[in-house]
Amino acid sequence: MELLLSNKLTTLNLYLEPSDTHRLASLCGPFDDNIKQLERRIGVEIIYRNNHFQIAGQARNCLTISNLLKTLYVETQAIRGKTQDLEPDTVHLAIQEAVALEAEIPRDDKALYIKTKRGVIKPRNPNQSDYVANIMSHDITFGVGPAGTGKTYLAVAAAVDALERQEVRRILLTRPAVEAGEKLGFLPGDLSQKVDPYLRPLYDALFEMMGFEKVERLIEKNIIEVAPLAYMRGRTLNDAFIILDESQNTTLEQMKMFLTRIGFNSRAVITGDITQIDLPKSQISGLRHAIEVLSKVEEISFNFFQAKDVVRHPVVARIVEAYEDHEQKVQQAKAKRDSQYKLQETTLDES
């Protein structure tokens, strides 16, 4: 690797070894899509010929891209003689992790990895790292933030890890069956079949980490239970890892009921997004209320994610930011109107 300095830009020369045509093609992606994504996200220019890459931009960005190219090139190593194709998601997550490392925000090393039999799951940014650390060290953990920040996925990963290390005897996953514009009554089947689509994200995460057949066996043995929140009433859950997903759609009574189900040697993770509440407008979200009421309880941790923590397609983060900006403008306009109304009322009273 060679670094050349000019008046305006830094140029970095990188040679990827061993030189392999198939691996280099996988690294660059179809029509150089991966290279274009790296250029766009980090703000550099990349020119390459065979295994020689020339990177132009700010020195720090050039070094970031150099490390990213090396990391991604390792990902293309052949398994059983077949070169591994780089998926856009792999490139996106590698970029996001590199940017987080450059942010110089302290990270808790003990929370960097979650081991499952299907592989190692690594938090992708400092907020995710703190979230996992809090799950490991607190009886109850809240993960609050927009979609795509890994709240549910990491919680399920921590639950699987705890089960496989025999820290708990069972996993219980639940969420409120609240319609997001649709009506459950028009769906076919009994109650269990009606709410099954609402629980699908939890199943998907379990299948990815443990495999379909093993999850099915554990569900049959009631070691893993996936159920709507209504089924939790009257139960006390000991030696369990409990996850309440989509908790912004709980009522005050449901949230209190859930939190008081937690027994000895149990851990609970509550995830939700207070910007996507599907309850009737007359009802207060149990999640929003719990944040206010329980903020000073030492055994409970609160983790708040932002748009920058989104680990899905980059456009998702921009969508979240656009909605947040719009909501802020609406609130500012409302505050301005209220202020004007109060001023008018004061003027009328004085006259």
Ordered mean pLDDT values, 10 residues apiece, the chain (351 residues): 54 90 90 87 87 88 89 78 74 76 50 67 83 89 88 91 88 77 52 65 85 90 87 84 93 92 89 87 89 88 83 61 75 76 65 57
Task: Quote the distance between the C-alpha of residue 131 and its chain's center.
Answer: 10
Residues 48 and 126 in one domain: no
d(CA 258, CA 323): 30
- CATH code of the domain in which 118 resides: 3.40.50.300
d(CA 98, CA 54): 19
Residues 139 and 271 in one domain: yes
The whole-number pLDDT of residue 182 equals 46
Give the domain-ending residue among 102, 125, 146.
Answer: 102
Domain count, the chain: 2
User: Strand 2-5 to strand 10-15: parallel, antiparallel, or no bridges (unpaired)?
Assistant: antiparallel
d(CA 231, CA 209): 25
Residues 84 and 132 in one domain: no
Residues 7 and 152 in one domain: no
Residues 150 and 251 in one domain: yes
The whole-number pLDDT of residue 244 equals 94
- The DSSP annotation for 256-312 comes to HHHHTTB-TT-EEEEEE-TT---S-TTSPPHHHHHHHHSTT-TTEEEEE--GGG--S
d(CA 306, CA 141): 17
Helix residue ranges per DSSP H, 53-120: 59-75, 88-102
Residues 277 and 301 in one domain: yes
| Cα–Cα nearest to 302, from 312, 316, 284, 288 | 288
Q: How far apart are the first and last CA of the chain?
A: 79
The whole-number pLDDT of residue 81 equals 62
The whole-number pLDDT of residue 155 equals 92
**Which amino acid is residue 219, in one-letter code?**
I
- Which residues are CB-contacts of 282 (< 8 A; sequence separation ≥ 6)? none
Residues 130 and 90 in one domain: no
CA distances from 244 to 46, 93, 143, 190, 270 (A): 45, 26, 10, 22, 5
Residues 26 and 149 in one domain: no
Q: Does some domain include residue 329?
A: no
**Which residues constitute the domain of residue 181?**
109-312
d(CA 231, CA 225): 11
Q: Does some domain include residue 153?
A: yes
Residues 117 and 236 in one domain: yes
Residues 128 and 93 in one domain: no
The whole-number pLDDT of residue 338 equals 72
Residues 48 and 120 in one domain: no
Q: Does some domain include residue 211?
A: yes
Is 320 exposed, middle or buried (CB count within 10 Å of its CB: 0-12, 13-18, 19+)?
buried
The whole-number pLDDT of residue 6 equals 45
The whole-number pLDDT of residue 1 equals 54
